[in-house]
Structure 1
Amino acid sequence: MKTINLNIKNMVCPRCILVIQNELESLGAFISTIRLGHATIQVPETVTKSIIADRLNSYGFELLEDKEQILMEQIKLGIQHYIEKLENSSKEAMLSDFLAHEIGKNYNFLSKLFSKSEGVTIETYYINKRVDRVKELIKYDELNLSEIAVKLGYSSVHYLSSQFKRVTGLSVSDYKEMMRNENRYYKSLSEALHDLREKGYTYNFSKKNDCLECKDLCASFQIEDLNISEFYRFDENEDAAGKSVIYGIETPDGLKGLLIDNSNLQNKTLFRRLSDKLKDGLNEK
């Protein structure tokens, strides 16, 4: 058996530790220590770092060999650890002191190296990560904004709100509304239609060959020229023919309408193009 030290990128949560531990053990490794970003293992002579890297790469992890890259990952994990500590303690050290102690290096050295390597300052990276955590807590919808501010060490709700808008470009209320829209659930096709009509989707689209036609506008559109902004699927009954899909569609001129497909997706080519368009829209967001 031989001992190998592994520095691992993209370990961000306890589940990552579990996944990596399982994969390493499946290669015959004995785990001496494992934590976010690092593992010390003992493996048979036949198991190389290349074999380990290939196995971990399939799960989105990466072995780091470059000393600077290793240090950058340590700083990022240190910032993550700092945010976690904030959530569990109302009195925490300054970020600079915390990182210097956590990593064992002078903060000015860490700061200059991080800015050079990542193109942003440690402070900016930290602010972005803290706002990401605010977004997560908003999505969970278990705490109000005042409670989130206290939990993450903000001096006030106003400071949290202004920083949130500066980073995301959205006010907290706008972000909450966006989340409600993305997570909106309709119990029936008729409920969805009523609400979408209220939101301004007034025109009706239908399929015509490989295009979408809007008789209200006396016009036909290529799918590639349209924006698919809403999508809902309903199982109206146990029969496959009862399935319906609603697409919320916006034209290049900003006009909004609906396409209702209750044909059991018989036009598979057209449906695939609509699905691809929907995915493209989500990726852009």
Structure 2
Amino acid sequence: MVVKSVFEKLDLKTEYVNLGEVKLLDDISTEEKQLIATELEQYGFSIIDDKKSKIIEKIKTLIVELVHQQDNDIKTNLSTYLTNHLNHDYNYITNLFSEVEGTTIEKYFIAQKIERVKELLVYGELTLNEISYLLNYSTVSHLSNQFKKITGLTPRHFKDIKSNKRKPLDEV
């Protein structure tokens, strides 16, 4: 809605405005493009118009969706998942991602999975075994080792720290 309002404010006609994408009805000048960029920056948005940046953003979006959407089948192979959605060779995708982001797709994927583990631990609705299964870890031990490697804490310690920060109402 914010992006749409910026284009309306600048009296630029759009065919559609979707999450992360705007299609204009007419071509715009360099000056108009700069004006759009300036207006969008006020709201924390930026224009991504080169092909490589678009692919990188799409990779990140696909990985976040894969890890964080509850009904997603995370058991699919990451390389297959990305190549099917991006229509590019996996070697090209991984090399581009590493070149631009300075990290591998696999490390980014693991970081997203660990963030999801943290989220699920804080909610406290699932056991570590259930979280391990949900995020397609081969064993709870594998999840715990990866969690500790990334965060420096065991999942149990992380959960204890989070729960110790809250006091019962009668102790406030």
State the TM-score, normalizing by the size of structure 1.
Answer: 0.52
SS at match of 1:32: strand
- Asked if structure 2 preserves the Cα contact closer than 8 Å seen for 1:114 and 1:122, the reply is yes
Q: Name 1:60's counterpart in structure 2.
A: 44
Kindly indicate which of the two structures has a greater share of residues assigned to helix.
2
Q: Name 1:116's counterpart in structure 2.
A: 99
Render the CA deviation track for 1:22-66: whole Å, top value 9, x for unaligned. Answer: 55455555452513x323244797993223222322222211233
Alpha-carbon distance change, 41 to 101 in structure 1, aligned in 2, over 3 angstroms: same
Amino acid at match of 1:66: D
- Asked if structure 2 preserves the Cα contact closer than 8 Å seen for 1:25 and 1:31, the reply is no
Whole-angstrom CA distance in 1 between matches of 2:75 and 2:3:
30
Q: Name 1:149's counterpart in structure 2.
A: 132
How many percent of aligned residue pairs carry the same amino acid? 35
* 1:163 paired residue among 146, 149, 162: 146
**Are 1:185 and 2:170 counterparts?**
no
Render the CA deviation track for 1:132-154: whole Å, top value 9, x for unaligned. Answer: 11111222223222222222222
Question: What does 1:205-284 correspond to in 2, within 5 Å?
Answer: none
SS at match of 2:169: coil
Q: Which stretches of structure 1, 4 residues or longer, exceed 6 Å deviation after superposition?
A: 43-47
- Asked if structure 1 preserves the Cα contact closer than 8 Å seen for 2:66 and 2:73, the reply is no
Render the CA deviation track for 1:234-259: whole Å, top value 9, x for unaligned. Answer: xxxxxxxxxxxxxxxxxxxxxxxxxx
Amino acid at match of 2:129: S
- More RCO (CA 8 Å, sep 6+): 2
Q: Name 1:94's counterpart in structure 2.
A: 77
What is the aligned length?
170
Specify every segment of 5 or more residues in structure 1 that has no aligned partner in the other structure, as ranges: 1-17, 193-285
* 1:174 paired residue among 151, 157, 161: 157
Amino acid at match of 1:57: E
Whole-angstrom CA distance in 2 between matches of 1:154 and 1:123:
14
Q: Name 1:83's counterpart in structure 2.
A: 67
SS at match of 2:58: helix
Q: Name 1:20's counterpart in structure 2.
A: 3
State the TM-score, normalizing by the size of structure 2.
Answer: 0.80
Amino acid at match of 1:34: N
- Asked if structure 2 preserves the Cα contact closer than 8 Å seen for 1:64 and 1:70, the reply is yes
Q: Name 1:222's counterpart in structure 2.
A: none
Q: CA deviation at 1:70?
A: 2.4
- Asked if structure 2 preserves the Cα contact closer than 8 Å seen for 1:90 and 1:153, the reply is no
**Which 10-residue stretch deviates more, 45-54 or 127-136?**
45-54
SS at match of 1:88: coil
Specify every segment of 5 or more residues in structure 2 that has no aligned partner in the other structure, as ranges: none
* C-alpha RMSD of matched pairs (Å): 2.8
Alpha-carbon distance change, 21 to 159 in structure 1, aligned in 2, over 3 angstroms: farther
Kindly indicate which of the two structures has a greater share of residues assigned to strand.
1
Whole-angstrom CA distance in 2 between matches of 1:185 and 1:103:
47
**Which 10-residue stretch deviates more, 48-57 or 129-138?**
48-57
Max Rg structure: 1
**Are 1:39 and 2:22 counterparts?**
yes
Whole-angstrom CA distance in 2 between matches of 1:175 and 1:21:
41
**Which 10-residue stretch deviates more, 108-117 or 52-61?**
52-61
